[in-house]
Amino acid sequence: MKLKSQINDVIKEAFIKAGIEHSPLSVTEATKPEFGDFQFNGAMALSKKLSKNPREIAQLILDNLDLTQMLTKAEIAGPGFINLWLNPLWIAAECKESLLDERLGVEVCANPLKVVVDYSGPNMAKQMHVGHLRSTIIGDTLANLLTFLGDEVIRQNHIGDWGTQFGMLIAYLEETGKDASVSLKDLEQFYKDAKACFDEDVLFSDKARAYVVKIQSGDKHCLQLWEKFIDISLGHCEEVYEKLDVQLTRDDVRAESFYNDDLPKVVEDLHNAGKLTQSEGAQCVFLEDDEIPVIVQKGDGGYLYATTDLAALRYRAQVLDAKRISYVVDARQAGHFKQVFKVAKEAGFVPEDVKLEHIAFGTMMDKGGKPFKTRDGGTVKLIDLLDEAVVKAKETINNKEDYSEEAIETLAKIIGIGAVKYADLSINRESNYIFNWDKMLSFEGNTSLYLQYAYARIQSIFRKHDSEVCGDIIIGDDVEHRLATMLLRFDDVLKRAAVDASPNQITTYLYELGTLFMRFYEQNPILKIGVDEKMKMSRLQLADLTAKTIKQGLEILGIKVVDKL
């Protein structure tokens, strides 16, 4: 059920009949209800090419337009717009079909791709903080979305498990002589203590540096400690993923260290490809129009994150055989990715036909528009933020006496975590966004709670009406017409959101659907006495399809619904 492309096909047919040898522009949703359901603006664009008056062209298209099936009416307006009305009978039949379909009429994409989605990527030396939130949930949404649309998605969690700070941590672990699992209970504190030692105690800092060398040279004892450390730290991350209801698992982890053995090879291959230049002691790749080189090997022989990223790119393109590789990473890394992608392609690490993209996102700000910090200026731990969300969500639950303690906890998790995720996903990912508890936990406006409420309201209808629902869907009035058309747009919206990697296109759609349903529900009674049986059945089905669409949409965003709020 690709609504737009089906309408485009009808237009295309008219073009052929009319003998216009250009391919038509895509139709767009009408900007206003008076202008129909969709509009075709291509007549104006053709005016020059055909050297004809746009209205004449529009008339020519209109004369050849099939108005017997999907479309029922078309009008020329203004300078040459063609406004299109969908046939209510056709809409009704399509909705019925969607309702009977498990995928709600969303077709699996025609050319599925193997896609790597790289997201979350926490550093193992510290606990996850709010800075990891956006990557984690935007990435997860993208992965869910592409999976739903039929792509073969490979999630990759490129965790930071290598580098000088680990020498420090392991030295401290050894120094304190504590059991690792106990010492690491509060990773943040552990890191701070180790850092303090490192900064103050010369003996300790020397020891830490010695440990770095030891780990890198494969010292068994040190490696064991390191592994233990990573294991526990990763356990912390998994706790967060669990709370966040994100799909990442250990199988998705490809740590930085995974590429260690390949790093010398990367440098060697760049050298063989004639890309390497030594500059100020470092091995660099100079890109033509970029003054700053990509450094792949330091003067002391060490490798850098660009080297690891190149190794990872090659692995993903050649071993995993991905055709689209998406990095969900902070916008501040834009320059880095632009360069690394270019090097990877020029050096032949990644074939030309592989799409490399940096899914950039903006920074999370506090109410005052400043980067999100604790009162004393520290970073906010992600786990604390999520716990706070659950606490705040409890306050929104009415009639608590109706629920058990456990039920309230479950409900609060669904509401609170959903609110945090939805607030983030509903803004254009590239802009910075202001984090606001009150706004995100409100029932009003474009929030998860509004949609969850709409869903619960519909479920309540079906609790009251638990007998069979059958018969046709009938489009009885303008609101039903608009609601049904909106339901049929689901496929288009998801496909578009997948191409642009923009979750907010989904939230915008769901919110519009939600408000449209609320309006429909206000003015068109369903279970009230006196409603014609056929209309009742039809409206029940529209409500059902709305609920299912909201549920599916939120599921892609990683947000749950409940039958009762």
Partner RNA sequence: GCACUCUUAGCUCAGCUGGAUAGAGCAUCGGUUUGCGGUACCGAAGGUCACAGGUUCGAAUCCUGUAGGGUGUACCA
| Footprint of RNA on 286-345 (CB under 7 A) | 292-293, 295, 298-300, 302-305, 308, 331-336
- Residue closer to RNA by CB (options 209, 457) is 457
Q: Of residues 19, 218, 274, 369, which one binds RNA by CB under 7 A?
A: 369
Number of neighbours of residue 173 by Cβ within 10 angstroms: 21
Classify residue 183 as left (phi > 0), alpha (psi -120 to 50) or beta. Answer: alpha
* 300's tokens: 């002391």
Q: Which stretch binds RNA (CB under 7 A): 238-246, 247-255, 278-286, 347-355?
A: 278-286
- Residue closer to RNA by CB (options 183, 257) is 257
Contacts to RNA from residues 503-522, by CB under 7 A = 504-505, 508, 511, 515, 518-519, 521-522
How many residues make up the chain in this entry? 565
- Residue closer to RNA by CB (options 261, 300) is 300
Closest separation in Å from C-beta 165 to RNA: 8
- Residue closer to RNA by CB (options 98, 505) is 505
Answer yes or no whether residue 434 interacts with RNA by CB under 7 A. Answer: yes
Q: What are phi and psi of 79, to 5 degrees?
A: -70, -10
Residues with Cβ within 8 Å of 273's Cβ and at least 6 positions away in sequence, in order, are 346, 347, 348
Q: Of residues 23, 31, 249, 272, which one binds RNA by CB under 7 A?
A: 31
- Residue closer to RNA by CB (options 183, 372) is 372
Q: Of residues 224, 460, 472, 555, which one binds RNA by CB under 7 A?
A: 460
How far is the C-alpha of 556 from the C-alpha of 418, rounded, in Å? 12
Q: Please tell me the count of residues contacting RNA according to CB under 7 A.
A: 100
* 138's tokens: 């935007």
Contacts to RNA from residues 392-411, by CB under 7 A = 396-399
With tokens 């450094």, the residue in question is 295
Q: Which residues pair with 156 in a beta bridge?
A: 118
Q: Of residues 256, 262, 424, 480, which one binds RNA by CB under 7 A?
A: 256
Quick one: DSSP state of residue 181?
H
Nearest Cα residue to 122 out of 379, 358, 497: 379
Helix (H) or strand (E) holding 510: helix 503-523
Contacts to RNA from residues 523-562, by CB under 7 A = 523-528
- Residue closer to RNA by CB (options 183, 412) is 412
Pairing of strands 152-156, 324-330: unpaired
CA dist list (Å): 169 to 149, 159, 230: 43, 17, 11
How far is the C-alpha of 31 from the C-alpha of 77, rounded, in Å? 13
Contacts to RNA from residues 173-232, by CB under 7 A = none
Specify the amino acid at residue 314: R
Q: What are phi and psi of 187, to 5 degrees?
A: -55, -40
Helix (H) or strand (E) holding 491: helix 490-500
Answer yes or no whether residue 456 interacts with RNA by CB under 7 A. Answer: yes
- Residue closer to RNA by CB (options 326, 448) is 448
- Residue closer to RNA by CB (options 246, 311) is 311
Closest separation in Å from C-beta 503 to RNA: 11
Q: Of residues 444, 466, 468, 533, which one binds RNA by CB under 7 A?
A: 444
How far is the C-alpha of 49 from the C-alpha of 122, rounded, in Å? 54
Closest separation in Å from C-beta 179 to RNA: 28
Closest separation in Å from C-beta 401 to RNA: 13
How far is the C-alpha of 375 from the C-alpha of 350, rounded, in Å? 45
Closest separation in Å from C-beta 119 to RNA: 14
Which alpha helices (DSSP H) does 104-260 contain, by range? 133-148, 164-176, 180-183, 187-200, 202-216, 220-244
Which class for 451: exposed (0-12), middle (13-18), buried (19 or more C-beta within 10 A)? buried
Answer yes or no whether residue 565 interacts with RNA by CB under 7 A. Answer: yes
Q: Which stretch binds RNA (CB under 7 A): 92-100, 175-183, 498-506, 548-556?
A: 498-506
Contacts to RNA from residues 75-134, by CB under 7 A = 77-79, 81, 83, 123
Answer yes or no whether residue 72 interacts with RNA by CB under 7 A. Answer: no
Answer yes or no whether residue 157 interacts with RNA by CB under 7 A. Answer: no
- Residue closer to RNA by CB (options 197, 547) is 547
Helix (H) or strand (E) holding 153: strand 152-156
Closest separation in Å from C-beta 116 to RNA: 18
Contacts to RNA from residues 42-71, by CB under 7 A = 44-45, 47-48, 54
How far is the C-alpha of 83 from the C-alpha of 61, rounded, in Å? 12
Closest separation in Å from C-beta 276 to RNA: 12
* 393's tokens: 């969500």
- Residue closer to RNA by CB (options 183, 252) is 252
- Residue closer to RNA by CB (options 179, 477) is 477
Contact between 429 and 503 (Cβ < 8 Å): yes
How far is the C-alpha of 451 from the C-alpha of 517, rounded, in Å? 10
Answer yes or no whether residue 485 interacts with RNA by CB under 7 A. Answer: no
Q: Of residues 449, 451, 483, 561, which one binds RNA by CB under 7 A?
A: 449
